Amino acid sequence: MAQSISTPQLDSPSSSLPIHIATLKCVRTGKAMPFTREQLSAINKAPITAPVAVNYLGLVTDEQADRRHHGGYLKAVHQMSSATYDKLNSEFNLKLEVGLLGENLTTTAVEGNQEMTEATVCIGDIYQYGEAEDCVQLRVVQPRRPCYKINDQIGPTASNRNIASWITNQGISGWYFQVVKDGIMQNELPVYLVHRPYPFANLKQLWTLANSKQKISKEIIEPWLDIDCLEDSWKKVLAKKI
């Protein structure tokens, strides 16, 4: 029997946009360096204070060691909520600091708005960072899929519990942006939600569908398959759930 899963709407009608929702508190970039298992990785992202240019491949000073699985125009910029670290530290009795797991951007909500999390960010959303002509616009196109490097980065605790798998099951790994408009990024820029074409398509719901062990009704899945900007591998996962 096909499973019926609700698809809650988020309160951001197009007529009310743009909305000033957050402040960009930290921008991070990294270099490909020796990592575990005789691999290179750029998961160690360091905070930067100087303005950095953003083009269709992301922040120009950011690197990806494994270009098969990381980087590219559909994984140009990675953002993750600081709430992910709160959950990890609570679940595994850790003291992880924000920025450890490879994200480029960290934001904090402005008064009266919710934090940017998987529950409040939708596929297709376009966010604007900054206000001047050199502002950056980014479109959400897919969640991040955690890999073993998350475990290696955290250390023995992760190896014993497979934290990367736990993050996947929880659906709290952040999201990737496609660059819509090149520009300049720096700390303390205002963040605006400027476009929300698919208000039903929040990332929490996407993970719920993708992780479902049961078949799901066609009526639930088809709207997701019609999202033009959702990365194809996610559409394939969802199509198999029908």
Domain-located, residue 34: yes
Residue 175 resides in a domain: yes
pLDDT of residue 6: 47
Q: What is the pLDDT of residue 193?
A: 98
- Which parts of the chain have pLDDT scores under 50? 1, 4, 6-8
Name the domain count of the chain. 1
pLDDT at position 8: 47
User: Can you give the CATH number for the domain in which 138 is found?
Assistant: 2.40.33.20
The pLDDT value recorded for residue 69 is 76
- The pLDDT value recorded for residue 65 is 78
Q: Does some domain include residue 4?
A: no
What are the pLDDT digits (tens) for 186-226? 999 999 999 999 999 999 999 999 999 999 999 999 999 99
In a domain, 242, yes or no: no
Domain-embedded: residue 213? no
Instruction: Give domain status of residue 206, yes or no.
Output: no
Does 211 reside within a domain? no
**Residue 42 counted as domain residue:** yes
Q: Are 191 and 128 in contact (CB under 8 A)?
A: yes
State the pTM of this model: 0.93
Which residues constitute the domain of residue 166? 16-199
